[in-house]
Amino acid sequence: MSTMAKITNEIDKTKKTPIENKFAFWYRISEEMNQQPKPTLDKNEYENQVKKIAEFQTIEDFWAIFQHLRKPDSCKPGIEFQMFKDPIKPMWEDEYNKDGGRISIKLRKGYTTIIWEEMIFALIGGVLPPDIKNEINGIVASSRKEFNVLQIWFKTYANFHQKIEQCIRDLLQIPNEVDLEVKQFFKPKKDYPKREFERKTEDKPKKKEVVNEEKKETNISNNEEEKKKEDK
């Protein structure tokens, strides 16, 4: 082998396949692992639980990290694995997440790992449509006591949540009759009064109908009595 061939061969060994976006793996051990979990966590407490594992921007570096990660189905309750575009943190308050939301999928034990891996490959590969791929910030695999949860976090709730939901359904072959939880991280303040009014209305629809019917019957009764008096 010539000197030039040897040099070329060494270059090929070190050449890596780039990924469009830079990503990072994270993990979190939640309060569910403790005997007396706190009902709520503030921002600082949650942030202290989230730890970065490693970053990658090539296929080779991805596999070097991924092969050492535990599979979600083999994790104890309270353990989460997250993969997000760097430098996005897996927190609602992050600048890239605060205007977005998440789609949550409940999974039976034993099925989480394969769905988690399918979403990872779709996000770092070329499977997703460009606009959807651009909107998705990261994914979370969360191990719970009775089931597991997969979450897809995205950056713009207002115009994209329905389109992203349908894309995820198509990718994972989820029937339309299966409900997915779609949640906005932070609702605009201007929506609060309207939403509160709508919620109260929805909470007591039957009572309102009964009240209306009673008023209606009362009005009819009064009119009939007045008419009888006039006839006399």
User: pLDDT exceeding 90 applies to what percent of the chain?
Assistant: 62
Percent of the chain beyond pLDDT 70? Answer: 71
CA-to-CA distance for 53 and 65, rounded, in angstroms? 9
| Superfamily holding 16-186 | RNA Cap, Translation Initiation Factor Eif4e (3.30.760.10)
- Is the pLDDT at 42 greater than 70? The verdict is yes
Per-residue CA distances from 86 to 47, 89, 127, 139, 196 (Å): 16, 8, 20, 13, 37
Mean pLDDT of 208-213: 37
State residue 160's pLDDT score: 87
Q: pLDDT (tens digit, 9 = 90+) per residue, 77-127?
A: 999 999 999 999 999 999 999 999 999 999 999 999 999 999 999 999 989
* Domain locations in the chain as residue ranges: 16-186, 193-231
Tell me the mean pLDDT in the region 139-156.
Answer: 96
State the chain's mean pLDDT as an integer: 80
pLDDT of 66 over the 90 cut: yes
The per-residue pLDDT for 219 is: 36
Per-residue pLDDT, averaged over 189-217, amounts to 42
CA distance 194 to 184: 16
Any bridge partners for residue 106, and if so which?
Answer: 149
Contacts with 130 (C-beta within 8 Å, 6 or more apart), sequence order? none
Show Cβ contacts of residue 8 under 8 Å, excluding neighbours closer than 6 positions: none
Of 11 and 46, the structure prediction assigns the larger pLDDT to: 46
